[in-house]
């Protein structure tokens, strides 16, 4: 095509466009206002334009927030497959029509009394005298269909299986999976995600995946000897708790290898509790066994002091369930004896360490409701009948450090200047709180308040033991709860 032909084509196109502009009533109306300024604007004004047809561009350009009640409804019907809009696949349902008056109101910045019509949502009629329902009238009426419990369980199991396979395919046996780069990340070189996941796999019934996780954890591949600094709090709630939970749910090997790994970890962390108060030093190097505070702080958090006791006591009780010695020889080593070492035990309802759900089994509580020893004169050292622990000796009161730490901060809620809410940082040597630190139910403090209640329940609900939790919740309601109010309230 020559240059002359191109020039003629462009001139013809410009002429066509110019003619359309002159003949198009919508564009002509946009240049000549059609609204009568003498006509009052109000709810009784007909919602139609005297000149422009409903849905035209001219009508849209004449509408303002001041005359929105007279604006026509702009129809969006036909947008989709028939409209030729780019990106709209054939068969795409047309959007619901929106009222332009609502749209202008929404963009004007002032309060919308009711925008359900603009969104095309249906709202049930509400009594005119019910102000609370009237304020909520914009909300769509949700319809819920009951889903059978077995289908919900299957959906949960499928989600867990999906997450497990993502980790298994891309990060095994690293501590964590980086989902974007699809690679494993090491923190402590202990297969942390495997520990985290095992009890969940057992609960949802993914037996094959659970066996795979158990076999790796029970193998020599899992060991606590990397030159890494392990946080005592994180290691307790994730690894120690995970291993003991899997053992208690019946996911251990016959020889008790997971319980043995939990004991390995406990003995690695134990040096951190050798402080005057029992509040542990924050970090322990797995290879050297050296406990130390991190460079960024010399204070422990409220969570790190008060959120350890349940996991350590669960380990202690699981070990006692398999205990096979009764006395200390006096030289720090345990003598051999019959299994069933505790004579004055209390029968409690709890999770049987061998699995099988709730049933009665002997649990030796450390103290009664008055703080007195239930079974005095206990042996200092014990052993186990489990094959993985046979011949091994360990501290019988292995949870004593965690109990001391918990008690060191538990009673802080009763101090008048705390009013139920101790600060979030505490010295492990003096148990004195840093009053300049934040008071929070968020990170570094939240789980402390949970354990005030959970430990009371785990201890058999002794009379008066709930007082610390109630005192703390009084402080929350008095000092941290704020009720916001909407307009007009």
Which pLDDT tens digit goes with each residue over 69-115? 444 443 333 333 333 334 344 443 444 344 444 444 444 443 333 33
The Cβ of residue 333 has, within 10 Å, a number of other Cβ atoms equal to 12
pLDDT at 178: 94
188 falls within a domain? no
Number of residues that make up the chain: 489
Residue at a domain's end among 73, 104, 122: 122
138: cis peptide before it, omega within 30°?
A: no
Mean pLDDT, to the nearest integer, of 124-147?
A: 54
pLDDT at 169: 96
Token pair for residue 59?
């009508």
Give the residue with greater pLDDT, 334 vs 223.
223
248 falls within a domain? yes
Q: What are the C-alpha distances in Å from 441 to residues 110, 444, 445?
A: 35, 8, 6
pLDDT at 388: 86
- Which positions ≥6 away from 141 have C-beta within 8 Å? 122, 123, 124
Report d(CA 338, CA 324) in Å as an integer: 6
| Phi, psi dihedrals of residue 268, rounded to the nearest 5° | -70, -35
Report d(CA 332, CA 379) in Å as an integer: 10
By residue range, what is the domain housing residue 430? Answer: 224-479
CATH label of the domain that carries residue 341: 1.50.10.10
pLDDT at 416: 76
pLDDT at 78: 37
Residue 350 pairs in a beta bridge with 359
171 falls within a domain? no
Name the DSSP class of 229: E
Pair (435, 301) in one structural domain: yes
| Phi, psi dihedrals of residue 362, rounded to the nearest 5° | -70, 130
pLDDT at 146: 73
408 falls within a domain? yes
pLDDT at 179: 92
CA dihedral (237, 240, 242, 248) in degrees, to 10, reads -120
pLDDT at 302: 87
Report d(CA 321, CA 356) in Å as an integer: 15
pLDDT at 317: 92
The Cβ of residue 298 has, within 10 Å, a number of other Cβ atoms equal to 14
183, pLDDT greater than 90: yes
pLDDT at 341: 36
pLDDT at 220: 94
pLDDT at 12: 52
289-331, pLDDT tens digit by residue?
A: 999 888 887 888 888 888 999 999 999 999 988 886 544 444 4
8, pLDDT greater than 60: no
pLDDT at 412: 80
CA dihedral (326, 328, 333, 339) in degrees, to 10, reads 0
219-277, pLDDT tens digit by residue?
A: 999 999 999 999 999 999 999 999 999 999 999 998 999 999 999 999 999 999 998 88
423, pLDDT greater than 50: yes
Pair (382, 235) in one structural domain: yes
Looking at the structure of the chain, the number of domains it has is: 2
Token pair for residue 33?
């206002």
Least confident of 3-7, 334-338, 424-428: 334-338
Report d(CA 439, CA 449) in Å as an integer: 12
Helix, strand, or coil here: 413?
A: helix
pLDDT at 62: 43
152 falls within a domain? no
Give the residue with greater pLDDT, 15 vs 271.
271
Residue at a domain's end among 122, 141, 171: 122
The rounded percent of the chain whose pLDDT value lies above 70 is 58
Pair (248, 107) in one structural domain: no
| Phi, psi dihedrals of residue 184, rounded to the nearest 5° | -85, 150
78 falls within a domain? yes
161, pLDDT greater than 90: yes
Report d(CA 432, CA 417) in Å as an integer: 13
Q: Place 139 in a pLDDT band, splitting at 50, 70 and 90.
A: low
pLDDT at 441: 81
> Which candidate, 274, 275, 295, places its Cα nearest to that of 229?
295
453 falls within a domain? yes
Q: In whole numbers, what is the pLDDT of the chain averaged over residues?
A: 70
- CB contact at 8 A, 353 and 314: no
Give the residue with greater pLDDT, 118 vs 384.
384
> Which candidate, 37, 36, 17, places its Cα nearest to that of 27?
17
Token pair for residue 136?
């909520």
Report d(CA 323, CA 1) in Å as an integer: 98
CA dihedral (10, 16, 22, 27) in degrees, to 10, reads -90
Report d(CA 433, CA 404) in Å as an integer: 16
191 falls within a domain? no
Token pair for residue 126?
């509400």
pLDDT at 7: 54
Cα 468-455-402 angle, rounded to 5 deg: 100
Give the residue with greater pLDDT, 473 vs 200.
200
pTM assigned to the model: 0.61
Which of 18-22, 31-35, 146-150 is most confident? 146-150
Q: Place 3 in a pLDDT band, splitting at 50, 70 and 90.
A: low
Report d(CA 245, CA 386) in Å as an integer: 17
Pair (283, 424) in one structural domain: yes
Report d(CA 460, CA 112) in Å as an integer: 54
- CB contact at 8 A, 420 and 412: no
356-405, pLDDT tens digit by residue?
A: 333 333 444 444 444 444 444 556 777 777 888 888 888 888 999 999 99
123, pLDDT greater than 80: no
The rounded percent of the chain whose pLDDT value lies above 90 is 29
Helical segments of 219-292, H only: 232-234, 241-248, 257-269
């Amino acid at each position: 095509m020559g240059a002359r032909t191109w020039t003629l084509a462009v001139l013809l196109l410009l002429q066509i466009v110019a003619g359309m502009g002159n003949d198009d009533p919508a564009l002509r109306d946009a240049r000549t206002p059609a609204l009568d300024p003498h006509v009052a604007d109000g709810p009784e004004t007909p919602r139609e334009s005297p000149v422009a047809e409903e849905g035209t561009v001219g009508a849209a350009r004449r509408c303002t927030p001041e005359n929105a009640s007279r604006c026509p409804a702009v129809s969006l019907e036909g947008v989709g497959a028939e409209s030729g809009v780019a990106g709209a696949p054939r068969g795409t349902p047309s959007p619901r029509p929106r009222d332009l008056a609502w749209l202008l109101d929404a963009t004007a910045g002032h309060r919308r009394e009711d925008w359900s019509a603009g969104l095309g949502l249906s709202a049930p009629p509400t009594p005119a005298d019910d102000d609370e329902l009237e304020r909520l009238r914009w909300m769509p009426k949700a319809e819920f269909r009951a889903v059978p419990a077995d289908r919900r369980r299957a959906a949960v199991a499928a989600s867990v299986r999906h997450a497990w396979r993502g980790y298994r395919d891309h990060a095994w046996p690293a501590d964590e999976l980086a989902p974007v780069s699809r690679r494993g990340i090491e923190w402590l070189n202990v297969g942390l995600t495997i520990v985290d996941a095992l009890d969940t796999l057992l609960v949802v019934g993914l037996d094959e995946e659970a066996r795979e996780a158990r076999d790796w954890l029970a193998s020599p591949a899992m060991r606590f000897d990397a030159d890494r600094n392990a946080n005592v709090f994180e290691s307790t709630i994730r690894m120690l708790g995970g291993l003991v939970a899997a053992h208690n749910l019946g996911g251990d090997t016959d020889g008790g290898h997971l319980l043995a790994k939990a004991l390995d970890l406990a003995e690695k962390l134990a040096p951190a509790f050798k402080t005057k108060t029992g509040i542990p030093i924050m970090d322990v190097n797995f290879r050297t066994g050296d406990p130390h505070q991190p460079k960024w702080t010399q204070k422990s958090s409220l969570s790190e002091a008060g959120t350890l006791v349940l996991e350590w006591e669960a380990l202690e009780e699981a070990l006692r369930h398999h205990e096979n010695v009764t006395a200390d020889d006096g030289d720090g080593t345990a003598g051999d004896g019959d299994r069933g070492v505790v004579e004055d035990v209390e029968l409690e309802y709890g999770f049987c360490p061998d699995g099988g759900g709730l049933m009665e089994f002997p649990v030796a509580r450390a103290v009664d409701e008055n703080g007195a020893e239930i079974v005095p004169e206990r042996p200092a050292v014990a052993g186990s009948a489990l094959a993985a622990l046979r011949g091994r000796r360990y501290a019988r009161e292995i949870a004593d450090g965690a109990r001391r730490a918990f008690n060191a901060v538990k009673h802080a809620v009763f101090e008048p200047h705390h009013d139920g809410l101790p600060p979030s940082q505490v010295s492990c040597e003096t148990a004195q709180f840093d009053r300049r630190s934040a008071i929070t139910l968020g990170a570094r403090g939240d789980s402390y308040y949970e354990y005030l209640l959970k430990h009371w329940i785990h201890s058999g609900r002794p009379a008066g033991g709930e007082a610390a939790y109630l005192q703390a919740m009084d402080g929350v309601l008095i000092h941290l709860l704020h009720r916001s109010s909407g307009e007009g309230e």
